[in-house]
Chain A
Amino acid sequence: MSKQTLIRLNNLKKIFYTDEVETHALSDIQLSINSGEFLSISGPSGCGKSTLLSILGLLDTPSEGEYVLNGHSVVDLTSAQRAAIRNKEVGFIFQSFNLISDLTVEENVALPLTYRDNLKKADIKSQVKSALEKVDMAHRSNHFPSQLSGGQQQRVAVARAIAGNPSIILADEPTGNLDTKNAEAVMQLLEKLHSEGATICMVTHDPRSAERAERIVEILDGKIIADSITHKSTAVA
């Protein structure tokens, strides 16, 4: 497995301005994520981990600092450019699944692919099928999200995240809304994806989930206070 640097954050800051109050959500973040890495970002509520994930996913822009993705700086991109990169390079998994209730499972998974140019219908269909098979949800492709359990919905969300073969999967508390059994199934799915070469960055405040990654970055008050390798990494190595 190659260990190229996929993401590099240098002196990254995020400041929110509300009226006369200046809130430093992130300060001097230095972080590199390699291809094929399974990283978890943990910390207490309000520490800035979701903000960091938003910046990583190009949903938000940093106030200062450098963000290099796949060797290209993505700080000064336009909204449309960021949307295009988000569509091709990033796959999101949310805590509350965030499936569109009026689209079928198949349509939800296909959604990011429909935003790509020059992708034929047949290609979309085969990529969707492959993604659903990976998460073992192909048999539910014509169902609507409301007809699925929470665990199944999150598996569909994972399928949507991987359907476009993104460079990185960003998972925001992916097990937060699930019971223990389903949470375990989702974590196993992420581990499986990682073992197949996917780069995963997961935000969680659950230490047990964090332990499933090979690297843990801890944040407190907007700063990285620890960046450690777990035993899993050692095992993989």
Chain B
Amino acid sequence: MKWLFDLKYAYRMLLKNPGFSGLTIAVMTAGLGLCIYMFSFIQSVMFRPLPFENGDKMYVVEAEIDGVFYNNGSLLLHDYQEIKQQTDSFSIIGAYYPSTANLSNGDRAERYVAVNTTANLFDYTGIHPIMGRTLTPEDNQSGAQKVAVIGYRLWQDYFNGATDIIGKTVKNNGVVTEIVGVMPEGFRFPINHQVWIPMTDDHTRLSRTEAPNVSGFVLLKDDVSLEQASQEIKTIMTELEKRYPETNSRTSGYITTFKKAVMGNGSEMIIGMMLTAVLFVLILACVNVGNLLFARANERAKETAIRVALGAPQYRLIMQMMWESVIICTIGGLFGLFGAAWALELTVDTLPSLMPMEVPYFWTLELDAELIAQTTLIVLLTSFLTGIVPAWKMSRSDFNAVLRDGTRGALSKRAGRVNQILVIVEVALSCVLLCMSGVLVVLLQEVDQTYYGANLDNKLKARIGLPEISYDDDTSKETYFLQLLTRLKDKPGVKSAGAMSSLPGEGAWYTTFETDGREVIENNYPRAHLIISYTGTMQALNMPLVSGRYFNINDRKGNQRVAIVTRSLAEKYWPGEDPLGKQLRWIETDNKEWITVVGIVNHTIHGQPYSMMKHRPSIYVPYSQQPSRFMDLFIEVSGNPNDYRQVLSSTVSSVDPEVPAYNVNTIDDALQRSTGGMFFIRSLFSVFALCALLLASSGIYGVLANSTARRTQEIGIRRAIGASDEKILSMMMRQGWFQLSIGLLFGLPLGYLTSLGFVQLVGPESSNYLWVFLFIPTTIAIVVSLATFFPAKKAIQMEPSSALRYE
């Protein structure tokens, strides 16, 4: 129990110096709190296995086109079947694709997120229904009776938790469907689904152009690595690309976890950068606390010498110092844990308003036993890191000299070097973090001002999905939207209305096409967004016409097929030529008719305004020539668009009560949500950078103040022999600036390199972000100059006689 004696003493020492203790605990709270928060967040959204028995072996197979990873149903059904037949890596393989379930019981229609799936999805998760049964392979046969398994929440909300639900029927997308099972509360697999419908698409009866896109869910065999499975899929997909260039041009496949698939492109890089950033903050915190403990160890040199004289073993001397860092880090860790729990709660409350979709069920942002165990490990590690250097240094000091002289002695060369290194490390680390954050702030400023190629202000939008069974021909679809848009335009306050398969800012189908007279080399077909636009919609969105004309009522079925293309497409495929009258046609559809370009509009952005999406060209075709069941509907209003939600929903119901409007939202909000993730990351980085700046400035001030204080005698001697105050000040400042220069020499290039990831991801139009690399070093230079100036000024304000006697 000897350690209790030392622990008690360390505790007493911390109580005796509340300022020191408060500062070090605050620093560690900031560092550890951020670290715990980020670990929890990243683990939850990226790394923690799904909450199923074989969660660590559950992966999803999707398509990769042009190097961009697609998710949530991107693999052609036929490609999935090929993979299923050829691969030997998986013990379970199945497929699903997301769909919409418009449930209707005659007087109430509600839209739910559904998934069409192979029956083995439930065996895959190992979760059993609380009522009824799950799907069977027979349900997957085409022509089988229509059945559905529903989620607990849907059962409670839509069916009021009716206990006799099994065997009841409901209209799903207009088709009478029997409810055969209810899944337990919380079961939302794969992402946020509430209705599971058997996938009846038969690849043997469908052509590759007719088949739906699916996601493959796979359970990796025990003896197969992820790399092996990935390689196998890539090999199969490469072969398929050669065999089916029309549908598989520049298409490959990838296997990943469900969590990573949801996070999307560039997420691993961003997560890596966030981890790096938070690690830097933690290192800065450790450096600061380590430095303060180091200064304190110097102050307690005599006490250590006494202990040495009394025969203290070296490990006890080290532990004596270590206990303090253990207490500081433990209290910091506890406060950090509370802070992280609070921040996680805040994130849970905030995320829904930032996400374009419902927050995935597996994002469980909370503290759990595993995280607390990891926190304990981090606390132990930081205790060791912060305490070991001062402890080791003190246990090896010249205690004889200390005992004899009774003073702490002048700053030794080695201690001075340690101080210099600490300042350099702090400058470099804070520079990297501030550069990353600064670049992100500037880049997202540009994203915030993105022009999507249309006027999207004051508009309320909704998604409409017409049930296939009720709208099985083009005329019925066209009539529906004609009626709907006419009724909407007649509503008071509505200035205009329109419909597009995907509005600017929304993701769109990125498909292959060819142009007349342009040779396609090795079946490497170009791709563009295909957007179906209702007549008058482009005018309602103020999409500026560069040349030609908009769609009109003459662009109907049977007449010449027409298209409007973006200027970006025209410049890419008909450079220096007049694109009007040029022809193109789709590759991945059965209709191979040529389409004539009749108009050019400015470039529009479909999808997120980042580099991987924003430069993609688009082709618009009139609704009357290519009717679709799924459309984005919008109204432009005078006043607040949110006031028109009820008007929009009731008008949609008035046309067909079984067709609900879903995803009703202002376009502004939808756009903000589509980039919300990046802005959330910016907020996090801003917190990291602010912490880094505070830690670095206080740390640098602490180091310099400490080293200056320890040089008081030296300064006294210099002044005694005639050095002017200016000379002393200039000497001190030069030393501060020297350390600043070295720190920036490392920090600035590192900051630039780490920021490049953001630059590549966002793909800015201007080089404004480069100003960050001037602004940040200037800021740090000011901070370092002030941190050097004040201690130096304090030292020269002391009378030389006092300075000479200073201990």
Residues of A within 8 A of B (CB): 50, 54, 57, 59-60, 79-80, 83-88, 90, 92, 94, 96, 98-100, 102-103, 107, 110-112, 114-115, 121, 160
Contacts and interface: CB of A to CB of B under 8 A. Distances in A.
A100 B306 contact: yes
Given A98-B302, A98-B306, A114-B2, A87 B403 contact: no
Interface stretch (B261-269, B308-316, B455-463, B787-795): B308-316
Contact of B310 (A80, A96, A121, A160): A160
Contacts of B16: 102
Given A80-B314, A160-B310, 6 more contacts: A59-B309, A84-B313, A86-B309, A100-B303, A100-B306, A110-B5
Interface string B294-309: 0000000011011111
Contact of A59 (B9, B313, B400): B400
B314 A90 contact: no
B403 A115 contact: no
B313 A115 contact: yes
Interface string B409-428: 00000000000000000000
A102 B12 contact: yes
Nearest to A54: B400
A83 B313 contact: yes
B206 interface: no
**Could you say which of A98, A110, A112, A160 has the most chain B C-beta atoms within 10 Å of its C-beta?**
A98
A84 B303 contact: no
Nearest to A89: B311
A84 B400 contact: no
A115 B310 contact: yes
Nearest to B317: A83
Given A54-B400, A114-B2, A102 B9 contact: yes
B12 to A, nearest CB: 6
B400 A60 contact: yes
A92 B312 CA distance: 13
A83 to B, nearest CB: 5
A111 B307 contact: yes
**Could you say which of B2, B303, B306, B311 has the most chain A C-beta atoms within 10 Å of its C-beta?**
B311
A86 B311 CA distance: 5
A14 B535 CA distance: 103
Interface in B294-346: 302-303, 305-314, 316
A98 B300 CA distance: 12
Contacts of A99: 306
B309 A80 contact: no
Contacts of A114: 2, 5
Contact of A79 (B306, B314, B406): B314
A90 B312 CA distance: 12
Interface bracket on B = 20 to 34
B310 A87 contact: yes
Given A98-B302, A100-B306, A80 B313 contact: yes
B127 to A, nearest CB: 57
Contacts of B12: 102
A90 B385 CA distance: 35
A69 to B, nearest CB: 13
A107 B13 CA distance: 14
B314 A96 contact: no
7 contacts: A59-B309, A94-B309, A96-B406, A102-B9, A107-B5, A111-B307, A115-B316
B1 interface: yes
A59 B311 contact: no
B403 A59 contact: yes
Nearest to A60: B400
Contacts of B314: 79-80, 83
A103 B400 contact: no
A119 to B, nearest CB: 9
A83 B406 contact: no
Nearest to A111: B310
Nearest to A166: B311
A88 B311 contact: yes
A109 to B, nearest CB: 11
B688 interface: no
B404 interface: yes
Contacts of B313: 80, 83-84, 115
A88 B306 CA distance: 15
Contact of B309 (A57, A84, A88, A121): A57
Contacts of B400: 54, 59-60
Contacts of B305: 98
A67 B367 CA distance: 61
Contacts of A121: 1
A92 B307 CA distance: 11
A102 to B, nearest CB: 6
Nearest to A88: B311
Contacts of A96: 406
B217 interface: no
B399 interface: yes
A112 B9 contact: no
**Could you say which of B2, B310, B403, B406 has the most chain A C-beta atoms within 10 Å of its C-beta?**
B310
Contacts of B13: 102
Contacts of B1: 121
A114 B406 CA distance: 24
Given A83-B314, A98-B302, A59 B307 contact: no
